[in-house]
Amino acid sequence: MQLFLEQLLNGLAIGAIYGLTTLGLALVYGILRILHVAHAGVYAVGAYVGLFAAQWTGSLLMGVLLAGAVSSLLGVAIERLVYFPLLKYPPYVPLIGSIAVFISLEELIRLVAGPEIRSFPAEIPLPALKLGVVTVSPPLLAVYLTTGLVLLSLWFVTTRTEFGLAMRAASQDMEVASSLGVNSHRVVSLTFVIGSFTAALAGVLVGVYYNQVYPSMGAVPAYKTLALIVVGGMGSVPGAVMASLLLGVAETLLIGYANVPLPRDALAFIAMILVLLVRPKGLFARRSR
Amino acid sequence: MNDYAVSVATIIAIQAIGALGLNVIVGYAGQISLGHAAFFGIGAYACAMLTTNGLSFWLALPVVLAISGSVGALLGLPSIRLKEDFLAITTIGINFIVEAIFLYTPFFGGALGIGGIPRVVFLGEKLKGVGFLWLCLAFLGASVLGCLWFRRSWLGLGCFAIREDETAAASMGIWPMKFKLSAFVVGAKLAALSGALYAHYMRFISPGDFGFPVSVMFLSMVVLGGMGTLWGPVVGAVVLGILPEVFRPIMEYRMLLYGALLLGMIRFQPGGLLGDQSLAMRVFRRLRLRGGD
């Protein structure tokens, strides 16, 4: 029982990290209909900036803030320089552009920071929580708290502010929204800022949680998150987060108990194909628009 | 020609065949596929398993083509219901799953792969070096002719119609399922041929040779050369095959240049080097006009 609970808590933490990474992808897909593969590159850049900034300033918080700032700038730059001019082409064109950006980012990190795995030593200013038979360690707690906080603020921004209204309008129909006075350029850029900031958070959290960052750390998330937004219903943020949590738990429990003879990274795609067969619009798709 | 040039040319010829196959799916039929390495791997594994068990390459090849054709039809099925983004993600998934099956099934040799693949025997002689290069070039020539035939046949015309407008094509009596699946079958067969040659050239294969980055490489070749053109994939394979060798002195920056090249190409010339609106083609046309005066 205790082992099961511990596995469950770990699975939830992994799911929460997937959720933070997938969130930005779902936001971007919702508004631009682009598969933002380079998002995982932004995430890896965020992890590295976070590591260097935390070592340089000696404070994890400063690391997180700097990582978020750099990643946001990077995200907006990708949107402005690559995606925006490619919107008029069929969707595979921006997708290939995104893959190219991702490859370039991965290589840039390798050239600048070196190919080796770096450890991410961090003092987390949180206590270890004792819940009955299991203990929630500080890194786990940090993952839960950050994810909860991000989701809460995102919910607040999208449903309770004027910007959120503009964002929802633009994601339904950008042209009509523009004609009604929504500055869709700014909305798109701000969406990239939010998405990239959460990606940087996820990158730093992964670095702290596994105590390692390496140049190709974005490779697996780059494609797993694509499967997750399909399972969650393309462009639906709550769906993507739910799918991520489910996958995190399922991966951990299946590998821990069922001894599935498949790598955990293929599981997401198997789930995705099953979902596409049964509910092509995704598990949590909005009913209709 | 020295051994080094021969080996570079052989790899380029092998990859060009695979890229031609992807072009049939993506360029002719307009079905985005990011899992081409799966077909490439299926061809390589099928052929290697047959020839390491004593069958000759020439007897194994028809079997490999039959297997890959049926797998192509099977894995092409998602294209009937899924479009564009969904199809792209599904094909990525197929690539990961196929790689995982190779990696985790002892039947396929697992992580160790398959070694000791015999050389191809032609007219009683074991082909290596230049001999094998000629074999690959012959298959490449046959593949280009095959693509030429495809483009001019009813099949190809139907595929072009579906690529331009599926609904309009369907309303004219062109059954999308038939043409999409045909494109997947032809594309998978070309990829499998390329994989079979690859297995017999390397003589050792492992699951990592058929991962997602290989699919990206094939797609880059097609995009770089020009999607939907006859010679585009070959040009793309030659350029992407030679570039790393040219840049060998700055080995460290090779992949970065690769990414930047792909990005620059898709950003400024999405039609590719041989595409209709590309710089090269416009210059070429102008030269021809001037010559005609």
Q: Concatenated DSSP letters for chain A?
A: -HHHHHHHHHHHHHHHHHHHHHHHHHHHHHHH----TTHHHHHHHHHHHHHHHHHHHS-HHHHHHHHHHHHHHHHHHHIIIIIHHHTTS-THHHHHHHHHHHHHHHHHHHHHH-SS-B--------PPEEETTEEE-HHHHHHHHHHHHHHHHHHHHHHHSHHHHHHHHHHH-HHHHHHTT--HHHHHHHHHHHHHHHHHHHHHHHHHHHT-B-GGGGHHHHHHHHHHHHHH-TT-HHHHHHHHHHHHHHHHHIIIII--SS-HHHHHHHHHHHHHHH-TT-TT--S--
Query: Chain A closest CA to B216's CA: distance in Å?
Result: 8
The verdict on residue A229 lying in a domain is no
Cross-chain Cβ contact B266/A226 below 8 Å: no
Query: Chain B closest CA to A279's CA: distance in Å?
Result: 12
The per-residue DSSP string of chain B comes to --HHHHHHHHHHHHHHHHHHHHHIIIIIS----S-HHHHHHHHHHHHHHHHHTT--HHHHHHHHHHHHHHHHHHHHTHHHH--HHHHHHHHHHHHHHHHHHHHH-GGGTGGG-B--PPPPEETTEE--THHHHHHHHHHHHHHHHHHHHHHHSHHHHHHHHHHH-HHHHHHTT--HHHHHHHHHHHHHHHHHHHHHHHHHHHS-B-GGGGSHHHHHHHHHHHHHH-TT-SSHHHHHHHHHHHHHHHTGGGGGGHHHHHHHHHHHHHHH-TT-TTSTT-HHHHHHHHHHHHHH-
Query: What amino acid is encoded at B2 in this protein?
Result: N
The verdict on residue A248 lying in a domain is no
Rounded to whole angstroms, the Cα distance separating B243 from B238 reads: 8
In angstroms, what CA-CA distances link B18 with A54, B35, B144, B282?
A: 47, 12, 11, 28
The verdict on residue A206 lying in a domain is yes
Least confidently predicted of A142-156, A198-212, A250-264, B124-138: A250-264
Res. B80: pLDDT tops 80: no
Query: Chain B closest CA to A108's CA: distance in Å?
Result: 7
Tokens 């498949």, residue located: A262
CATH of the domain at B113: 1.10.3470
> CA torsion angle for B188, B193, B196, B202 (degrees, to 10)?
-110
Top-confidence residue, B138 or B174: B138
Res. B155: pLDDT tops 50: yes
pLDDT for residue B262: 83
Work out how many domains chain A is built from and give that number: 1
Tell me the whole-structure pTM to 2 decimals.
0.86
Cross-chain Cβ contact A91/B84 below 8 Å: yes
Cross-chain Cβ contact B97/A269 below 8 Å: yes
pLDDT class of A157 with cuts at 50, 70, 90: confident
Query: What amino acid is encoded at B283 in this protein?
Result: V
Rounded to whole angstroms, the Cα distance separating B54 from B57 reads: 9
Residues 119-158, chain A, touching B (beta carbon < 8 A): none
Cross-chain Cβ contact B263/A104 below 8 Å: yes
Residue A57's CB: how many other CB atoms inside 10 A?
A: 13
Cross-chain Cβ contact A100/B263 below 8 Å: yes
Among A93, A36, A42, A79, CA closest to A228: A36
Closest residue to B267, CB basis, from A82, A261, A262: A82
Query: What amino acid is encoded at B36 in this protein?
Result: H
B26 at A interface, C-beta within 8 A: yes
pLDDT class of B17 with cuts at 50, 70, 90: very high
Query: Chain A closest CA to B255's CA: distance in Å?
Result: 7
The verdict on residue A256 lying in a domain is no
A97 at B interface, C-beta within 8 A: yes
- In contact, B7 and B15? CB cutoff 8 Å: no
Q: Residues of B with CB below 8 A from A269's CB? A: 92-94, 96-97
Rounded to whole angstroms, the Cα distance separating A22 from A269 reads: 15
Rounded to whole angstroms, the Cα distance separating A178 from B2 reads: 62
The per-residue DSSP string of A190-248 comes to HHHHHHHHHHHHHHHHHHHHHT-B-GGGGHHHHHHHHHHHHHH-TT-HHHHHHHHHHHH
Strand B121-122 and strand A129-131: the pairing is unpaired
pLDDT class of B87 with cuts at 50, 70, 90: confident
Res. A256: pLDDT tops 80: no
Cross-chain Cβ contact A265/B223 below 8 Å: no
Tens digits of per-residue pLDDT, A161-220? Answer: 888 888 888 888 888 888 888 888 888 899 899 999 999 999 998 898 888 889 888 888
Average pLDDT over residues B188-204: 91
Among A36, A6, A8, CA closest to A234: A36
Rounded to whole angstroms, the Cα distance separating B210 from B214 reads: 6
Query: ipTM score here?
Result: 0.81
Q: Residues of A with CB below 8 A from B253's CB? A: 107, 111
Give which of B94, B253, B256 to mutate to test A binding, by max A Cβ within 10 Å: B256
Work out how many domains chain B is built from and give that number: 1
The domain in which residue B238 lies consists of 3-292
Across B48-57, B142-151, B157-166, the highest mean pLDDT is recorded for B142-151
Average pLDDT over residues B271-283: 74
Mean pLDDT of chain A: 85
pLDDT for residue B1: 67
Nearest-Cα residue of chain B relative to residue A96: B266
The domain in which residue A99 lies consists of 13-218
Cross-chain Cβ contact B262/A261 below 8 Å: no
pLDDT class of A289 with cuts at 50, 70, 90: very low
Per-residue tokens: B77: 């099925």
